[in-house]
Structure 1
């Protein structure tokens, strides 16, 4: 109630649901309930489907929730409050930080997070827009694993199921139009436009994401060695870590290459203007 939210605490856990799975009974209980209006307010920016009000048990206007879920809602409340204060009074944020740093153990946590953030900031530097744009050709900066599959598709070779899925997930992640994704498979010997369209749209609705490099290796889809791709094999130099850093995801491969090409063009333009 200190935060002006209607949260009820029960010293003895209250039972609110009975799950039965394969004849096994599980009774769910909790010590916490929160009024649905406060629940909606706190969870409004959290997009997980299971957090929707209709997917949570409610009685007499109060939502049952676990301790961890309550903590997550309060974290979001505090985050929003800090952002609100920061936008209106940076001095208060600095003052609050200084007060928190006086708490035993907090500075160690703060310094650890700060160090991790410094490393992460370098990755954000390469976070350039790689979404599909009409008339723009991204295929020249695709990773070798995707180039290999596209080459096989153009040659009319049959693709493995894992190759088809990965290609669809990858192109969807770049927001390629569904029709273009479908056309990629048009040269395959077993191509069926209606069936392919259904599968492509199904994957899009599900929001499947492309595999990481580790997963691609386990599926034998990594083509770094076959294509002798330097970026895949050696990674890139990290200024923050002062060492080579491995590429961990094919989408970052695209981002890094697009960023590098952009910087090259900018440097050339500066050279011509000077």
Structure 2
């Protein structure tokens, strides 16, 4: 029996599905460079109670809810290779593997193969002396527990990371035109939330699995931290100004939020600190490219 597994003995890979919940044959699995991995399955147990007993008389399974949370460092080789699926809503098969030895000849493998996964919530952030990172929450249809790699699959990993020096923030007109650099930013983050809804149906087989995973209303927003050099953001709030914000994600890749307004602007002042301005925004559209 192997010893318990360490974080250095865990890897995460994904592939786009051919149809919802269906993984392609002989897939090319792409690695996700993750700092933290939280793999979970919620069986939504139903506890049956009745008169005559203080305790449940039965415990039945309900809708199976596969959940996977990752902290992901954007690779410089393909910065948006994984996170772009928050926009496309493509369904993914995601495999979490724990193993012993070299991955090329791994032994004692424990595999969780998540199927029908979509990105429900994405937060990307960057700060001075930091890498560009993403917190990703996926929900899906089912999980297969196994003891090996996927038959016929190849596994590939992207290299590198996107540093804060390779990022930028630009502001422009509401429609995304006439963008110019904002040179007062020390930290930024944005969030896209799809509000996915697992939908089960009554059927003779697999009624405990979701049949659909549609997206509902989308929430778009984020927060910037400025060096407090002028009053521009306060004036924007007073004037009900609308604008766009473009975030550099490495190379030629970006996230462009359009039709934005400041949701809250504040300047906290503390002893022995320089004054910064924190501005939270809401948006009506986003393009990741």
- Indicate the TM-score class for this superposition, using the shorter chain for normalisation: under 0.3
The TM-score normalised by the length of structure 1 is 0.21
The TM-score normalised by the length of structure 2 is 0.20
Relative to its length, the structure with more strand (as a share) is 2
Relative to its length, the structure with more helix (as a share) is 1
